[in-house]
Structure 1
Amino acid sequence: MPLHSLTPLSDHSVLGLWQLREPAQALLQVLPERYAAIQPTGRDQTRSTQWLAGRVLAHEVLREFCTTSVILVNDANGRPFFEQLPAFAVSLSHSGQWVSCMIATRGHVGTDVELVRDKAQKLAPRFLSEAERADAGDETAKHSLYWSAKETIYKLYSRRGLVFKEHILLDPFKLREAGVLTGHLLLENSRSKHQIHYQRLTPDYVLTYAYCEMVMW
């Protein structure tokens, strides 16, 4: 099975990466039986395979903390969580051949992986502020990274209703192979600053992730 890496980020959090190569049936066979019944229907084969790979990866990451028998489900906001370990924070993302999963025994987590493509650049007026658009310029990869970082903060907050262009803002940055971005979550009654780590997994994919140990909202 192509588990790419398991990276401890703190004493309480681990990031896992999976490079998807196997068919859906091979993934389903290594999961607890209940997943066959709760697998979403109406999806194309690629998305179904990604969904299964996310669950396989989540169980791999969880083994870094415990061997409890669990099932990963989603709450009313779409946030994944383990039914038997509700205090654990979980974030999942998949795009193309890459799947990421971040788990923490406390606090909040967020991760996102994106295929670098011009879609983010075309949608930039919807999710980037004027300052962010100016900073992104004509760089397709930078637009994708802006989108990914905002998705990570959105997942970190884990509630609906955020407007990316207004409530999640990023400081200007120089695009590198890996680095740290500074993001700001601007809520009605609070403001918080977050460090979002990023990597260029390949020239065609970007990964972002963040961990917040303290409750800040």
Structure 2
Amino acid sequence: MALAYLRELDNNVRFAIWRIEESAEDLISRIQLDDRERAILSRLNKGKRTLHWLATRVLLRTMLDTSGFIDCPSDENGKPFLVNFPQRISLTHSFDYAAVMMSDNGEVGIDLELVKPKIVRIADKFMKADELAAIGRDHIGKLYACWCAKEAVYKLQGNKGVSFKDNMTIRPFDFQDQGILFLELDAPHRKEPFKVYYEKFQEYMLGYVMEGGLD
């Protein structure tokens, strides 16, 4: 497992991306599993899903700098959390990579996606018509920045039933390889603007957000 990217966003927030090169057996040898986690593993289809799940747990151990057991269940909304550590976390994976974002304070969200042209066909599923009119329907990179931003905010807020299309609006922005966009969350439980960071990572798009943003 090779560290591909590590960023310290400030003294309290950081994320890391790892390239998955090991077998499931190798990854399992690096962590401890309780009965709940063994049951989760037994339900996963063999292959990438298993590798993704295991890789995020190995990466958690690396970022927390511990050889001990890390209890990382998910709440009733599917949001992962740490039982025996105070940090807030967000997990993501895509094809050959897994990533973890971690904060000593507020909630965070991160998403990593392999960039593919097919996103143009599903843009109407997660973008409003006026959003598409503002950014351009055929701009693949920009569409992925929007998707990753919405996914990152969805993970941060942590509640099911929030719609990318109906409850999130991205303000017009100029796309760059690395930049910032602003997203308005208008959900029943929370109405708040977010500053979301996005950047190209090799052939992937990365989006991440934290409560309070960065200066």
Q: Provide the TM-score with structure 1 as the length reference.
A: 0.88
Q: Deviations over 1:87-139 (max 9, x none)?
A: 43110000111211111122110000001113322121121011221213212
Matched, 1:59 2:58: no
* Distance verdict in 2 for CA 1:51–1:12, change over 3 Å: same
Confirm or deny: 8 A CA contact 1:91 1:111 kept in the other structure: yes
**Are the aligned partners of 2:123 and 2:137 in contact in 1 as well (CA < 8 Å)?**
no
Match of 1:107 in 2: 106
Structure 2 CA distance, aligned partners of 1:153 and 1:69? Answer: 29
Distance 2:212 2:146 in 1: 23
- Which residue of the partner structure matches residue 131 of structure 1? 130
RMSD after superposition: 2.0
Q: How does 1:137-152 map to 2 (within 5 A)?
A: 137-152=137-152
Separation in structure 1 between the aligned mates of residue 148 and residue 130 of structure 2, nearest angstrom: 17
> In structure 2, do the counterparts of structure 1 residues 59 and 77 end up closer, same or farther at CA, with 3 Å as the change threshold?
same
Cα 1:55–1:18, aligned 2, differ >3 Å: closer, same or farther? Answer: same
Q: Which amino acid aligns with 2:151?
A: E
Work out the percentage of aligned pairs sharing the same amino acid. 29
Describe how 1:113-124 pairs up with structure 2 within 5 A: 113-124=112-123
Aligned residue pair count: 210
**C-alpha separation between the residues in 2 aligned to 1:163 and 1:175?**
23
**Compared CA separation, residues 118 and 79, structure 1 to 2 (3 A):** same
Q: 139-148 vs 89-98, which deviates more?
A: 139-148
Corresponding letter in the other structure for 2:63:
V
Question: Unaligned regions of 5+ residues in structure 1, if any?
Answer: none
Q: Is the 8 Å Cα contact of residues 77 and 159 (structure 2) preserved in structure 1?
A: yes
Give runs of aligned pairs for residues 23-34 of structure 1, distance below 5 A. Answer: 23-34=23-34
Give, as a single letter, the amino acid of the residue that structure 2 aligns with 1:61.
Answer: M
| CA shift digits 1:137-181 (9 cap, x unpaired) | 212222222111100010110111111112111112222111111
Pairing 1:40-51 to 2, within 5 Å after superposition: 41-51=43-53
Match of 1:162 in 2: 162
Matches within 5 A, 1:155-194: 155-188=155-188, 190-194=190-194
On the 8 A contact 2:198/2:205 being kept in 1, the answer is yes
Gaps of 5+ in 2: none
Partner of 1:17: 17
Q: Find the counterpart in structure 1 of residue 6 from structure 2.
A: 6
User: Cα deviations across residues 60-84 of structure 1 (Å, max 9, x unaligned)?
Assistant: 2222xx7764221111111111122
Number of the residue aligned with 1:199:
199
Give the residue type in structure 1 aligned to 2:183. G
Within 5 A, what are the aligned runs for 1:64-103?
69-85=69-85, 87-103=86-102
- Answer yes or no: is the 8 Å Cα contact 1:117–1:141 preserved in 2: no
1:39 equivalent to 2:38? Answer: no
Letter of the 2:198 counterpart: Y
What secondary structure is seen at the aligned counterpart in 1 of 2:166? helix
CA distance in 1, matches of 2:84, 2:8: 22
The 1:33–1:187 alpha-carbon spacing in structure 2 relative to 1, beyond 3 Å, is closer
Q: Which residue in 1 is equivalent to 2:207? A: 208
Contact persistence 2:32–2:68 (CA under 8 A): no
Kept in 2: contact 1:121–1:144 (CA 8 A): no
